[in-house]
Structure 1
Amino acid sequence: MQDPVWTSVIPPLLAIGLAIVTRQVILSLSIGLWMGAWLLGSGNPLVAIPQAIDAVINVFTDPGDTRVLVFTLVIGGLIATIEKLGGVRGFIHLLQERKWVTGPGRAQWLAFGTGVVVFIESNITLLIAGAISRPLFDRYRVSREKLAYIIDATSAPICVLIPLNAWGAVIVSLLASSGIENPIDVFIGAILLNFYAIFAVLVCALVIWSDFDIGPMRAAQKRTAEGKFLWPNATPMVDPSLIEAEQSRQPQDSAKLMLLPVLALVLSMPLGLFITGEGDLTAGSGSTSVL
């Protein structure tokens, strides 16, 4: 194994910088990967191209990595299907009929609560909280930037604090492989020391409670209050047809189409850990269970 050198930070910094400047994530990651292969290889930038491609292909040789990639595709398709069938619209109308969400404040607390309740995996949290909350945020003129902040602050930070999910399974397995006795006890004992995750959640709650917009979110909120959900020339990452379909309720819309799949996802995670761990939740496979 090579000793770490300062040049090892160049690929991630390059990828992050390009992503910020170009807004092209895949292109930026590809260039960062190529740079990493260049630095690790013979120093020939042309030879680094096939090496970078091989590195991508080799990801699929690891069963855990492959399961995570397949899961990402599957969960994205599931959320899109729920939206197409009217599950999101039905759930939103249920909230409004029961008067559970009647303004911007409650819409933000809904996004926060979804991030806390759907703790099985951070990607699932992001997709579900975003799908549920975005129409409400648009309706009550709360910026999408603030929605992004809320669901980001309650996805990974919540997941990393709970042992019975994909994150917990990975962390416990890493502790066990490091020779630490009683890894689950160590994980639970270290929860209160996970200061970043705890403060991220608490600050997010404070932002919602105080109706405070941090930094650029203030400008985004001013824009949204004027009825402009996006900045000029911005390209939404959501299919415009889905946004248009959210405007009117259809006869087939039902909250059950949203609640039942989400409930199945939440309950299947500990069950999957129990089965793959042969009765021991802490020994279960996080990647298999989440898939």
Structure 2
Amino acid sequence: MEHFGAWGLIPPLLTIALAFITKDVIISLFLGILSGALIVAGGNPALALINTTDLLAGSLSDGWNIRIFLFCALLGGLVGMLSRTGSSSALGYWASRHLKKRNSTLIATWFFGLLIFIDDYFNSLAVGTMMRPITDKQKISRAKLAYILDSTAAPVCIIAPVSSWVVTVMSVVKGSEGFGSLGVSEFSFFIRSIPYNMYALLAIIMVVVVSLTHRDFGPMAASERLAREQGVLWNVERYGVASGEVDHEENPRALARDMLFPIIVLIVSALVFFPLTTWMGAVDGESITSLGAAIASIPLGQAFNDTDASVALFYSAVFTVSLTYLYYLARRLLTIKTASESLKDGIGSMVPALIILTMAWTIGTVIKSTPADGGLGLARYLSEVVVGGGFPIWLLPGIVFALSALISFSTGTSWGTFTIMIPIVLPIVIALGEVGSLTGGALLNATLISVAAVLSGAVFGDHASPISDTTILSSTGAGCPHLEHVATQMPYALFIAGCSIIGFAVGGVFLNAIIGWIAALAVFAAGMVILPKTYKA
């Protein structure tokens, strides 16, 4: 038996339904895993609990998984140290001396949002804290600040090569059935998927367009008009009081470069370790006896493509945290005690994300594994049903984007969405591609655009949902009433989602990102001309 048939639909559907109802992704994922184990165990609850425990433990026994787990934990520790130094305030003071105009202030806020890509929570709070006094002075509404913070949080994290989001995506993709047939590494797959991630890229582009042209529409136009003409930065009468002030450290010794140092080290060390780990692994003591010989025998591009991303990222995290720890001690921004405390607190802040990551690996195992291996074989079943039903592959990206957007908006989480959707979508698109005689580059393009549609839909929910953590933290970081942030940002997010679904639909027809982008940008340009004139609040 290769699969349990329609019974395999129960875990993902149950997980999605419970996430809608409870808004608790961890419990929903756990019960989804348990339901799958119960089906495999033939309805025996005791055996199902034992199998669930083994599955959870087994997900962390894999070398790739445990390194990614530790990478995310160390990234949290790095953010904890950054938060404690007061360096974000120092960067804000530096910026205030150089930003004199409204446009430059808005673009600088956008730029800092791009720069602090390692964590979406830290992004919203740190950039909001440093830029709020400057935007207030320029009579920029708190709603506009919150919008920029939110638009450079999840949309940036999902396309940054070094972040906890990306390693999660790579882990889910790597573990999905059929991925091995594409002939690329998980890191190469992610890099190639970036141009297809229309929602994230369009959200980032729109911030620049609106900042430079001031072509606001809907409730945002009203909030900006109120701030610019009357100096009222948030609308108490309509939306209530502003979110509470953000607690942040200030340190007279901190400088702007103290904020940039760990980020630069993380980027540079990752770029070094990606090819280096490939070369190190090639040294076998026989045909290749030294690192120099490995470098000479494997070209740089191939070394990047063949790398084990989990090893490279783990090395870069260890290197960055160690060097940053020593740097902050040497700069006397932290003592041994405060550095250790902030490192511990930062790692602790990642616990919910680490639990979700572990659950995601486990439910992926339940979904993709055959009954002989303790799974349901759902991917195989869905592939057979979709292929047998004659479903056209060109429809898949648009439908997947819409479904992922609905799930993520309703649950407020992108991680939960793509960990559920990718293991289902990836084997389906590969099976449809094979039936349609797609091979090589064409099959890879079909897979890239379909997986990117999942990621785009997932980011939409994290960006726009009123119950999303980053939406709430963006309100807090900007000191903006949460309802005002939601009301002013929602039309922008829906507009970008509309452009994206058209891009995915057209791109799906031609299996070409360029053609999809032409369609999406045409709608975007038309909207930016028409909406400011017709949609006024």
What TM-score do you get using the length of structure 2 for normalisation?
Answer: 0.40
Deviation, 1:215, is 10
Q: Which residue of 1 aligns with 2:266?
A: 265
Q: Tell whether the 8 Å contact from 2:155 to 2:204 is kept in structure 1 after alignment.
A: yes
Deviation, 1:86, is 1.4
Q: Which residue of 1 aligns with 2:275?
A: 274
Deviation, 1:67, is 0.6
Per-residue CA deviation, residues 174-200 of structure 1 (Å, 9 max, x unaligned), is: 9995374x879x9699668x53x1443
Deviation, 1:167, is 8.7
Per-residue CA deviation, residues 84-119 of structure 1 (Å, 9 max, x unaligned), is: 11122222222223228968733652355337xx5x
Q: Which of 147, 150, 165 does residue 149 from structure 2 map onto? A: 147
Q: Tell whether the 8 Å contact from 1:68 to 1:287 is kept in structure 2 after alignment.
A: yes
Q: Tell whether the 8 Å contact from 1:158 to 1:201 is kept in structure 2 after alignment.
A: no
Per-residue CA deviation, residues 185-240 of structure 1 (Å, 9 max, x unaligned), is: x9699668x53x1443024422553378999999x99996544238xxxxxxxxx9
Structure 1 distance, partners of 2:63, 2:216, is 42
Structure 2 distance, partners of 1:23, 1:217, is 28
3-state SS of the aligned residue for 2:56? helix
Deviation, 1:131, is 4.7
Q: Which residue of 2 aligns with 1:41?
A: 41
| 1:126 has 2:120 as partner | yes
| 1:228 has 2:230 as partner | no
Structure 2 distance, partners of 1:49, 1:215, is 51
CA 1:13–1:154 in structure 2 vs 1: closer, same or farther (change >3 Å)?
Answer: farther
Q: Tell whether the 8 Å contact from 2:234 to 2:242 is kept in structure 1 after alignment.
A: yes
Deviation, 1:70, is 0.8
Structure 1 distance, partners of 2:81, 2:101, is 24
More displaced 10-residue stretch of structure 1: 274-283 or 126-135: 126-135
| 1:19 has 2:49 as partner | no
3-state SS of the aligned residue for 1:154? helix
Per-residue CA deviation, residues 238-275 of structure 1 (Å, 9 max, x unaligned), is: xx9xx3235xx431322222211110000111211121
Identity of matched residues, %: 21
3-state SS of the aligned residue for 2:247? helix
Structure 2 distance, partners of 1:157, 1:14, is 29
Greater Rg by CA: 2
Kindly indicate whether structure 1 or structure 2 has the higher relative contact order, using CA contacts under 8 Å at least 6 residues apart.
2
Q: What amino acid does structure 2 have at the position aligned with 1:155?
A: C
Structure 2 distance, partners of 1:11, 1:101, is 53
Deviation, 1:23, is 3.3
3-state SS of the aligned residue for 1:284? coil
CA 1:169–1:46 in structure 2 vs 1: closer, same or farther (change >3 Å)?
Answer: closer
CA 1:16–1:167 in structure 2 vs 1: closer, same or farther (change >3 Å)?
Answer: closer
Q: RMSD of the alignment, in Å?
A: 4.5
Q: What amino acid does structure 2 have at the position aligned with 1:25?
A: V
Deviation, 1:283, is 1.8
CA 1:217–1:5 in structure 2 vs 1: closer, same or farther (change >3 Å)?
Answer: farther
What TM-score do you get using the length of structure 1 for normalisation?
Answer: 0.69
CA 1:91–1:215 in structure 2 vs 1: closer, same or farther (change >3 Å)?
Answer: same
CA 1:135–1:264 in structure 2 vs 1: closer, same or farther (change >3 Å)?
Answer: same
Q: What amino acid does structure 2 have at the position aligned with 1:154?
A: V
Deviation, 1:31, is 1.9
| 1:285 has 2:308 as partner | yes
Q: What amino acid does structure 2 have at the position aligned with 1:13?
A: L
Structure 2 distance, partners of 1:137, 1:21, is 37
Q: What amino acid does structure 1 have at the position aligned with 2:269?
A: S
What pairs with 1:165-176 in structure 2 (closer than 5 Å)? none
Q: Tell whether the 8 Å contact from 1:169 to 1:282 is kept in structure 2 after alignment.
A: no
Structure 2 residue ranges without an equivalent (≥5): 136-141, 227-232, 280-294, 296-302, 315-537
Q: Which residue of 2 aligns with 1:75?
A: 75
Structure 1 distance, partners of 2:190, 2:247, is 45
CA 1:208–1:45 in structure 2 vs 1: closer, same or farther (change >3 Å)?
Answer: farther
More displaced 10-residue stretch of structure 1: 252-261 or 55-64: 252-261
Deviation, 1:8, is 3.0
Q: Which residue of 2 aligns with 1:237?
A: none
| 1:135 has 2:135 as partner | no
Structure 2 distance, partners of 1:212, 1:16, is 37
Q: What amino acid does structure 1 have at the position aligned with 2:111?
A: L
